[in-house]
Structures are given as C-alpha cells and as structure tokens.
Chains A and B, each alone.
Chain A
Amino acid sequence: MIETIIVLAPLFAAAIAGLGQRFLGDKLAMAITTGTLGIACALSLYTFAMFTWGGAPERVTELFRFVDVAGFTSTWSVRIDALSVVMLVVVTVVSFLVHVYSIGYMDEDPHKARFFSYLSFFTFAMLALVTANDLLQMFFGWEGVGLASYLLIGFWYQNKAPNDAAIKAFVVNRVGDFGFALGIMAAFFCYGSIEFHGIFEAAKAAPDMMLGVGDFQVRAIEAVCVLLFIGAMGKSAQFFLHTWLPDAMEGPTPVSALIHAATMVTAGVFMVCRLSELYHMAPIAAGFVTIIGAATAFFAATVGLAQNDIKRVVAYSTCSQLGYMFFAAGVGAYNVAMFHLFTHAFFKALLFLGAGSVIHGLHHEQDMRRMGGVRKPMPITWAMMLIGTLALIGFGIPGVFGFAGFYSKDAAIEAAFAAGEEHLLGAELAFWAGISAALLTSFYSWRLMFMTFEGAYRGAAHGHDKNGHDSHGHEPHGHDAHAAPGAAPAHESPPVMLWPLYALAFGAVFAGFLFAPYFIGEMATPFWRNVIHLPHGGHHDFPAWVIWAPLIVTAAGFLFACFFYLWNAGLGARIAAAGGPIHGFLYNKWFFDEIYDFVFVKGARALGDFFWKWGDQKTIDGLGPDGVSASTRFFSRQMRKVQTGLVYHYSFIMLIAAVGFGAYAIWAVGQGAQ
C-alpha cells in the first residue's frame, strides 16, 4: 500500500499541476508537487528502513493486467526488494531536493507549473521503472522517463538549441530502445516469460539454449543480454550512444541534476543489476558490458578535460562515472555498481545543483572562461562544490575515512582488478581504464573548481553578455551595479537553493562510509537477500599498490590542475588557443557528432529524399497512375471531342461503371449459386 502511494502520488501531483495550472496558479502548483514529493520521500525512507532493518519481506503488489496475450503477460505492479528500495530512496530524495531547489532556481521563469508538473511526472515514470516486476513495465517506465527528459531538455522551447537537443535525446534513446524492445521479444521467445523471475528460472533450466536464424546461431542468453544492454547504452549514455547527454545540458540545471546525473541515466545500470542472474550466466555479454563501460569511463573523462561549459564538464563526468558502474557490473560486482550508483547520485546531484547555483549567481553564464573569482561572493556554494569534488574524485585515506566516491569508486577499480586476475573478458582493460580515468577525473574536477572559483573574474563587468541561456526572461539584479570592478558580479543563492545542497553534501560525505558495509561489506548478503548476484568468495586481499593507486593518481591529477590553472593561471587557456591536434580532438569530443551527423542524419535525409522523389514520384507514380494517365491522354487527344473535361462527367461515368460492376457481380454470383 505504502509503496503504491509512493509510485502513484507523483503522477497525481503531476496531473493536478499540469492540467490545473490555470486554476491553481504557480505557487499552489509548486506546493502540491513539492509537498507530494516530500511525502513520497519520507515514505520511501520509511520503506527502506523497514526493509533493511525492520525485516519487512520482499513483495510484489499487483495492480492490474497491462498486457496479457497468449502468455505474453505483463502486470502493473510495485515490486519491493533490496534493489528497488535503494532506488526508491535515491529517486525520491534527489527528486524532492530538486523540487525544492527549483523553487529558487526557476523563480523568474513564467512556466513554473509546467516545469514542476514535468518533474513530478518524471519521478513517477522513474519509480514505475524501478518497481517493475517485468520487462514490459520497465520499458514503460524507461520510455516515460525518456519522455520527461525530452520535455525538460526542450523546456525552453522558443530556442533552437534545446529543441535540437531534446529531439536528439529522444531519437538516440530510441536507438537503444530498439535493442531493448528486441531484447524483450527475444527473452519471451526463448523463456516464455517477460517477468523477471520467470526469465531467470527458464534461463537456469536451459542455459545452453540457442537462438538464431539458419546457420547464424548464438547462445540465447548472450543474445538477450546484449540486446537489453543496447537499451542500457542508450539510456545511460554509453560509448557510441552517449552523444545526446552533453547536449541535454540545454535543459534547466535542476533537470540535469535529477535526470541527467542522479536518476534516469543510471536506469541502464539498474537494469543490468536487476538482471544480474542473467548477465552472470552470459560471460560474453558481460564482457561487452565491461568493455563498453571501461571505454566510456576513459573516453568521457578525456573529453571532460577540454570542455569550457561548466555543465558539460559535469555531464562528461557523469558519463564517465556511469562507465565505472557498468564495468563493475560487467565484472560481476553488481553490488559495487549499485553502490557507486547510490553515492554518485548524491555527489553528482550536488555538483550539478552547485553548478546551477553558480550559473544562477552569474545570471545564466555557463562558460568557465568567463568565470573566475566566484569564491568570494559565493562562499557557501564554493564549499558545497568542494565537497562534491572531493566525493567525485574519491578522496579518502584507505582504512580511515573517505568521501562517498572513495568507497564506491575504489571498490569498482578493485573489482575490476580481481576479475582481471581471473581473466574475465575486458576486466584488465577496465582496471587500467578505471585508474587512468581517476587521474583525468581529478584533473578536470579541479580544473573546474579553479577556473570557476579562483583567480580574477574574467567575464564582462556586468555579467550580462549575450548568450542563449539568459533569454527566458531573466531580469538583471539591481545590486550588481554596485559590485566592485574586477570582482565577480555574483550573488549567493537564496536559502531555498542552499538547503538542498546541504542535504546532498551530507550524503556526499557520509553515504559511502555509512553504507559501505551494507552494499559491499560484511552485511551485503543479508542486505541484498539474493536479489542480485553477489560476487563469489569472501574478501579479496589486494596488493597494496592496487589499494593506493587511485589515491596517488588522484593526487597527481590535483597537482597537474594546480600547475595549469592555479600556479600558472592562463596556461590552460593558452594551450587551448594554440589549437593543437590533441586539444582539438578532445574539444570536439572525438568528432562523434560530426561523424554521426554525416553518416546517419545526412544519410537518412538523402535516403528519404531519394525514396520520395525517385521512388514514389518518378518510379511508382511515373510507371503507375501518372504513366497510365499520360498514355490515356495521348489516346484521348484522338477522341478529344468526346471529352468534356468536367469532373461531374467523369464522376458520373465512374458511378455508372461502378454500378455496372456491382450489378454484374450480383448477376455472376447468382449464376454461380444456381
């Protein structure tokens, strides 16, 4: 009952705020949605506590039949188990905080009710996804969050960039969903069920079943896992299907924090963990997950080095951290993947909301080249961002204490190392990708901190130079005019925006320390209750260098960043200005967008034009009706006198003909019958 309320309440709030916005007004719409999310958040925490410490059972509440055709059965349900309670907490906590924060951030936006309605709708869809008991409901939530993402990326629909980004996000996600949909079909085809338990049981009963056409035969379980993972690659912005995520930063920043950092983009990781029983029986598919995750972790971190938009840096960071989660899952450490998902939600949401606070303080300036010296006017935001950064780079002393990311990220790297010892596909690659990405993460994170907060302010004196992001009615603040020359004309954000930061900062500091025993430590077995496949064996004894390596490379990254952006301020800018090939390659994101645009977008466009102009018009019509009528016209010239050219005459003749045919039909049929 409680869990049903948690899932459905945000939907009702969204419907009320969305449909009733004219009658409610902005204030009431915001109050309803935020209040509902507050209740959902409290109930989720209660459910989590009862489940983890109160001994509440795993359970499935079935609401009603969604689809049920000859065994293809999906039931609307709310599944409560260790995985879903973790996700309930992550989703509702971050969502509630983002709702609160948005009251401040969207203060001057004219479409607040619509914005909050979308946020709540997103929360509902995400909750439906994580509490699904079968693949089809998961797919429903999956597409639902995709819709919310589309609507929120394109929230400022009067501008070109958000519209482009919104459609791109939807379409690229659909490429992933292509795999997901086929995965659902393949799973049902092979296992006769799309309900999770049914799939697991059938897969265990027939682990060597083959699937394919003719000579092309593969192990069914590998095929299903790879197909479903293609869906995960889309939603979680993994290598090849990542291009939409940076563009998604065109949406309002609270959206980036909620959807494109903490929750929706982790749905792919969640799905792999939810199906861990399947993936651990599919070594090749799991290896594919590992390799894609490792590639993404490294690739996105390199691109993050050269970006100047503060949100895009954090976006590439998200992409990279999702890669960590995937390679952890790929090497079989599903609990580590979930743990990193859990801690990452706090510190990445914190970083995004902190970045949003900076952007808000600087009147929608997002380019770090025009920032600097923001620490003085925004000390609280700076402190919060510092905590987020320390958590992201995984700062901590092994055996003593660390920020949230320390526990989860190091566990991911260690899991990859352990799997490498066992020669799992891609594991060694993942280990080295994890180590090098940790170095890069540290560098770009400190680069962000230094470029934003340290040094002298580099923007225009008034902070209102034209860019696309301030065109939604953000009015200048009166007090800026009094800012001292050279200082950043920023203002600290209001308390309604700072309180969510405090809450998230608390998570970023302590979530790792407090929950490591449950997720990945000695309490893991009772905590997870077999809902995910835990790595076999007890504690690994890792060589000292493996344990210390992340800390060392992180320190190195810090020093590099200091060297380029603190001690030799301007050096980084000079490197960028020099336009070297490496910088160009990174700045242009490995040219993925350009290649995709050329091959897929232009290719499809040309193909569409070809089919239309040559296929339909020249070939089909040319040989078909138009050709016939042209030759008819030729003959008719001979008999022009009969032709009147009046449509009434033509239609009359047609009518007569049709009646004649009808009469003939009846007559002929009658003949036949006698």
Chain B
Amino acid sequence: MEGLPWLSIITFLPAAGALLILATRAALPGANPGYDNGVRVIALVVTLATFALNLVALTHFDPTNPDFQLVERVPWALGVEYHMGVDSLGMVLMLLTTFLMPICILASKSIEKQVASYMTLFLILETLMLGVFCALDIAVFYIFFEGGLIPMFILIGVWGGARRVYAAFKFFLYTLLGSILMLVAIIFMTTTAGTTSIPALMEHSFAKEAQTWLWLAFFASFAVKLPMWPVHTWLPDAHVEAPTAGSVVLAAILLKMGGYGFLRFSLPMFPDASALFTPFMFSLSVVAIIYTSLVAWRQTDIKKLIAYSSVAHMGFVTLGIFSGTEQGVQGAIFQMLSHGFISGALFLCVGVVYDRMHTREISFYGGLVHRMPVYAAVFMLFTLANVGLPGLSGFPGEILSLYGAFQASAWFAVAATIGVILAPVYGLSLYRRVAFGTLDNPKLADIADLNAREWIIFVPLALATLILGLSPMLALDFTQATAETIVSAYRAALGAP
C-alpha cells in the first residue's frame, strides 16, 4: 500500500470517470432521462470514490512532517518532471476539493441540458483542481492551474444564466491576462534556476531585483484568482451567471488557488519582494474588506451579494499570509478551508430557492421561514458562520489572520477589523429580506422545504462548519508544521528572528 501513487490515483480518477462517461455516450444512444440519471450516478460514485481514496491517502500522510510527502517523481518530456507531492497545505485543499465535489454533483440535479457533457466537464475540472494542489513541478502546476479555466469557462458559458457569455468572457480574460504574466515569470525562473522542481525553486534564492518583477507577475495571476480588489469584478458576474454547482466550485475551490499560490510561490520563492510589497498587500486587503463589504450590502441579487462577501473574506486571507507570522498564516489557511464550506453552502442555499423560483432577486423573496423552516435554519447557520460568529468556522480564521496583521502593523489590523462590523450589516440584512417578514409574494405560497437530496447536501457542510468552529484545532494542528516551516523559512530569508 505504501508504494501506491496515491496522488496520481486521486487526481486522475475523476478524469477516468469522465472518459467512462464519454465512452458510454459513444456506446449508448444519447439524451434520455434514464441515461442522464445513469451519468449522474457515475459522476457521484466517481467523486465519492475520489474522496474515499483521499481519506485513505490521509492515513499515509504525517501532518507533523513538514516535508512534501506521497511524492511521485517520473522524468517527463523536455526536462520537465512529472512530480507530485503534498504538504499539509496541499492536503487540506485536496480534501476540501474531494469533499465538495460529490456535493456539487448532487446539487446539479436541476441541470437537464446535456447532462453527460456537464458531468464530463465537472470531473475534468476536479482532476485539474486536484493537480494544482499536489503538482511539485512548476510546469505541471501551470498546466493544471490554467487548464482549470477551460472547463469552468465552458460551464459558465453553456449552462449559465442570461448574461452567461459576457460573464464567461470576463472571467476568462481576467484570469488569462494574469496567467500570461505568470507564464513569463515561470520561464524566466526555470531558465535562471535551471530546474522546474518547486521544492528546488523554494531553495533557490533569486536576486532581489528579479524577485520584484517575478513577484509582480505571480501577483497578477493570484490576485485575479483570489480575487483581490481591484481585479475582483469578474467574480460577481461569473457567480451570478454560473450554475449553482459552478458557483460552489468557483467560490469554494478555485479562489483558494490564489491563496495557495501566494503561500507556495510568493512567500517562499520571493521573500524579499514579499516583504517589500507587504504594505501594498495589506492596503489592498483592507480596501477589499471594507469596500466590498459595503458594495455587498447594496446588492439586489442574492448571488452577487454573496460573491462580494467572498471578496471581503479573501481579504482576511491575504492579510494573514502577508503578515508573515504563524498566527497569520495558520489563520489564512483556516480561513480558506472554512470559506470553502461556508461560501459553498451559501451558494447552495441560493440554489435551493433558485431551483424553485428561477430568480435571484432579493426583493422577490421574503418570509420564506413560514414555508421553509428547515431551509431557514440552515441558511441562518451559514449566514452566521459567514458573519464570523465564534463557535462556527468563520471565526478562528478571521481572528488569527487579524492577529497576524496586528503584529505586523496595528493600524492595518484596526482598519481590517471594521470588517467585523460590516459583515452582519450585509449578512443579516440579506437573511432578513429573504427569510423573515411576511410571505407576501403569492408565487411563494407553495414553495416547498428542503427535500431529502438537499438535506444530504447540507448536513455534511453544517457539521463541518460546526465542528471546525468549536474545535478549530482539528485543522490547525494538521497545518501547523507546514505553516511553521513557511513562516520560519520566510523570516530566515529576511534575516528576521
């Protein structure tokens, strides 16, 4: 068992599932409801198996060891190695991905158009996302990182809402623009350092001036992905138009690639530049937190509001990462994980009412608690988690990131803490407008509460949010060694104690 290439198996199992679906499509006459359901079952089984295998791989993983583990290394073409491996940062994000994918498949019940293509794309997307978190060769990483764009682009463009083409292009242009700069940087780095191996590049010390430019190039890509203000405007549009499961993947996993990138590349490879740009990053983070919170409050579309709140929450992630402290980095990783559950769940909450009513206008709703008490309770739980209530998973990441920033610069921490005032302003007022009040809209008179499938979707997420909120050490202990290594290497490179 030890010798199995766990990471490759986990990463490529979904792609194999996609091939299987394609094969059945070739073999069977397409498009009938029975066939579509079969495809759904295949996708569900494949994603569940991926999650199960990921859990098995977890038993072969030692979180107290800060080195890359489960390493696979095979020479590939043109000097590039097929090199996989994870530390606990990668492992946590892989687990988040494999955990959420079955939920996304279940949440795609309302997709009726070209189910087979949809599921194929989703499975390919999972492979590409998983690859990002465990690739240890920068070229392989780049392929996974950029490859994820394509299925997402098509998912939005084909299964999206009314303005899906505009949104898909905006999404694509923004992220591609960032990536091109990163690509140039990668080419420069590998030429200079003479290796494509990420661990080797982490050891390599680049010249200070080079670091500045390289840092900026990577920043362009990660800042768009995360997204940071002011390159965030693709996110609300992409979310609004994407199908529910697409939004979940986008918010819960794709955004995390930005934070992952900062932690994997910017901090270890360009420490001097990271220190140089820390005030810049702090400023953007604080602006993101305050600016997007206020914008979120003014939205009239539920999904847009949640999308903007995601941008604000990612502000805490960048704040924590660039504090260069253990609390900050731990907080940032925790916040990424927790935001995966919370934002995913919130988009699923939107999906529940969207599937029934086909509108996301806040003003259409109101008084849902009268007809949908269980839904109202679930939505309340995740709203409160989003608001950062202690006891739910939104809180530990926030307070740790803020404390990290406080150590680096008290004033930035003070400004960022204003975010804790604004979060309930938009969060609770959204909830109140959707769930509370009287049920006036006659179209809502027969709206049904959660069905069994939706219960299954929400229960794991609710448990994750509660358990991580009450006992955050379950995750923090897991990522401790990695966070410590990143921080101590960063501080050593800067000559700081």
Contacts and interface: CB of A to CB of B under 8 A. Distances in A.
Contacts of A671: 78, 191
A615 B236 CA distance: 14
Given A72-B400, A182-B413, A144 B390 contact: yes
Contact of A171 (B172, B231, B421, B484): B421
B173 A171 contact: no
B202 interface: no
A553 B410 CA distance: 48
Contact of A70 (B78, B172, B326, B420): B326
Contacts of A597: none
Given A140-B390, A609-B298, A658-B146, A68 B176 contact: no
A658 B406 contact: no
A67 B473 contact: yes
Contacts of B142: 662, 665
B183 A661 contact: yes
A181 B402 contact: yes
A356 interface: no
B233 A65 contact: no
A578 interface: no
B95 interface: no
Contacts of A158: 367, 370, 436-438
B222 interface: no
A160 interface: yes
B437 A143 contact: no
Nearest to B179: A661
B425 interface: yes
A655 B472 contact: no
Highest count of chain B CB atoms <10 Å: which of A170, A620, A666, A671:
A666
Nearest to A188: B403
Contacts of A609: 298
Interface stretch (B58-66, B147-155, B206-214, B453-461): B147-155
Interface in A616-672: 616, 620-621, 624-625, 628-629, 647, 650-651, 654-655, 658, 661-662, 664-672
Interface in B429-471: 429, 432, 435-438, 470-471
B418 A608 contact: no
A670 B77 contact: yes
A658 B79 contact: no
B139 A658 contact: no
Interface in B156-184: 157-158, 165, 168-170, 172-174, 176, 179-180, 183
A668 B79 CA distance: 10
A654 B230 CA distance: 24
A612 B150 contact: no
A157 interface: yes
A125 to B, nearest CB: 9
A170 B436 contact: no
A611 interface: yes
B468 to A, nearest CB: 12
A673 B234 contact: no
B424 A662 contact: no
B478 interface: no
A2 interface: no
A212 B183 CA distance: 42
A380 interface: no
Nearest to B425: A171
A69 B476 contact: yes
A459 B395 CA distance: 49
B364 interface: no
A514 interface: no
B78 A665 contact: no
A340 B329 CA distance: 45
A139 interface: yes
B221 to A, nearest CB: 13
A650 B169 contact: yes
Contacts of A213: 409-411
Contact of B153 (A139, A624, A654): A654
A67 B396 contact: yes
Nearest to A139: B390
Contacts of A212: 410
Contact of B157 (A604, A651, A662): A651
B196 A669 contact: yes
A607 B418 CA distance: 15
B194 interface: yes
Contacts of A549: none
A174 B190 CA distance: 49
Contacts of B153: 651, 654
B157 A174 contact: no
A611 B295 contact: yes
B437 A69 contact: no
Interface in A76-109: none
Nearest to B476: A69
Given A167-B424, A167-B429, A68 B476 contact: yes
B191 A672 contact: yes
Contacts of A140: 390-391
Contact of B79 (A604, A664, A669): A669
Interface residues of A, number: 72
A200 interface: no
Contacts of B291: 611, 615
Interface in B1-21: none
A608 B294 contact: yes
Given A182-B413, A605-B298, A608-B295, A668 B326 contact: no
B154 A144 contact: no
Contact of A666 (B77, B389, B437): B77
B437 A163 contact: yes
A664 B179 CA distance: 13
Given A158-B438, A611-B291, A647-B157, A182 B414 contact: yes
B187 A673 contact: no
A384 interface: no
Interface string A166-188: 11001100110110011011101
A616 B77 contact: no
A185 to B, nearest CB: 4
B436 A72 contact: no
A69 B400 contact: yes
Nearest to B431: A167
A614 B150 CA distance: 31
B194 A608 contact: no
A666 B78 contact: yes
A607 B296 CA distance: 11
Contacts of A668: 187, 190
B407 interface: yes
Contacts of A621: 233
Contacts of B180: 661
Contacts of A426: none
A147 B389 contact: yes
A671 B77 CA distance: 11
B120 interface: no
A268 interface: no
B78 A174 contact: no
Given A67-B396, A189-B407, A673-B80, A181 B420 contact: yes
Contact of B330 (A69, A150, A607): A69
Nearest to A223: B410
A635 B139 CA distance: 35
B45 interface: no
A154 B380 CA distance: 13
B417 interface: yes
Contacts of B326: 69-70
Given A136-B390, A143-B389, 19 more contacts: A67-B396, A67-B399, A143-B395, A147-B384, A158-B438, A171-B421, A178-B420, A182-B414, A185-B403, A186-B406, A189-B410, A607-B294, A608-B297, A651-B168, A664-B183, A666-B78, A669-B80, A671-B191, A673-B80
16 contacts: A65-B471, A150-B428, A163-B437, A167-B432, A182-B406, A213-B411, A615-B230, A616-B295, A651-B157, A666-B80, A669-B78, A670-B79, A671-B78, A671-B191, A672-B79, A673-B196
Chain A to chain B: the 8 pairs with minimum beta-carbon distance, closest first: A670-B78, A673-B79, A608-B294, A672-B191, A70-B326, A672-B190, A140-B390, A157-B436
